[in-house]
Structure 1
């Protein structure tokens, strides 16, 4: 069995804990931890530098520093997730549109473990942000979707439409 755990800021602990609690401790389970860096921020910094800020100073592109910081942060997050899981894992760091990269990496795996990334105060469709909604809708495998904290009570269900 191949399990992919989507590691994202703010919700990674719940995804790792769910995988640790649900997967057998022994056996032939391969676990992959995936973190995706959205390159829009570095791209914006590169673009701003090239457009207005970078005239005559090609060695001072702030986008390079943003990329370095993002790489270090991803490595630290993957290491923390691996330590929390306390099992052998493969660490994957990808770049691009987060939701597309998660779906690509889910191809060929048996289970994707992900955490809700939207409204945590009530049950319903808004508990999934745009990236998680895309992943849930397009994942080519089974998905274990967990709450990043205790799930809201049933009384938080939205009322029926008029």
Structure 2
């Protein structure tokens, strides 16, 4: 008897439907893990901008970094829930924080397949059809990678 196959699906705001559909079609009996990664640099930039503009006298309760972090968490949970619903079967949900490409490569370590989507311009096939993070993941993941074209939804 063979061990169950684990498929990691990288969920992003703009390409998740195509990735989930690919998992549904190409891995109908495998264990599926849906991964979303929140880039903490955005929250840090908002905090730093607030601190820089108002100096040390700014009120912590008005720091937009905390509000952005809360909103990011809600948005990630909603996105993962929508992806799980579209998948239509039990799956594991992971919400990581950090440098996106590093987190995806780390999460892909030990899985049997990573599904992700091109995130560049569809009308421009070639190297520019992959964004920086996706290019890094494709180059560094230690597992097979299924790269799909996003579809408009």
- TM, length-normalised to structure 1: 0.86
The equivalent of 2:26 in structure 1 is: 22
The equivalent of 2:62 in structure 1 is: 60
Q: Which stretch shows the higher mean deviation, 45-54 or 119-128?
A: 45-54
- Tell me the alpha carbon deviations over residues 128-157 of structure 1, each in whole angstroms, 9 at most, x when there is no partner: 11111100000010101000038xxxxxxx
The equivalent of 2:43 in structure 1 is: 42
Alignment of 1:4-23 (within 5 A): 4-23=8-27
Q: Is the 8 A contact 2:51 2:58 kept in 1?
A: no
Q: Which has the higher contact order (CA 8 A, sep 6+)?
A: 2
- Post-superposition shift, 1:102? 0.3
- TM, length-normalised to structure 2: 0.91
The equivalent of 2:72 in structure 1 is: 70
* CA distance in 2: counterparts of 1:93 and 1:34, whole angstroms: 6
Query: SS where residue 72 of structure 1 aligns?
Result: helix
Query: SS where residue 35 of structure 1 aligns?
Result: strand
The gaps in structure 2 that reach 5 residues or longer are none
The equivalent of 2:136 in structure 1 is: 134
Check if 1:31 corresponds to 2:32: yes
The equivalent of 1:153 in structure 2 is: none
Q: Which stretch shows the higher mean deviation, 36-45 or 56-65?
A: 56-65
The gaps in structure 1 that reach 5 residues or longer are 151-162
The equivalent of 1:81 in structure 2 is: 83
- Tell me the alpha carbon deviations over residues 63-92 of structure 1, each in whole angstroms, 9 at most, x when there is no partner: 000000000000000000000000111110
The RMSD of aligned alpha carbons is 1.4
| Alignment size in residue pairs | 147
Runs of 4 or more off by more than 4 Å in structure 1? none
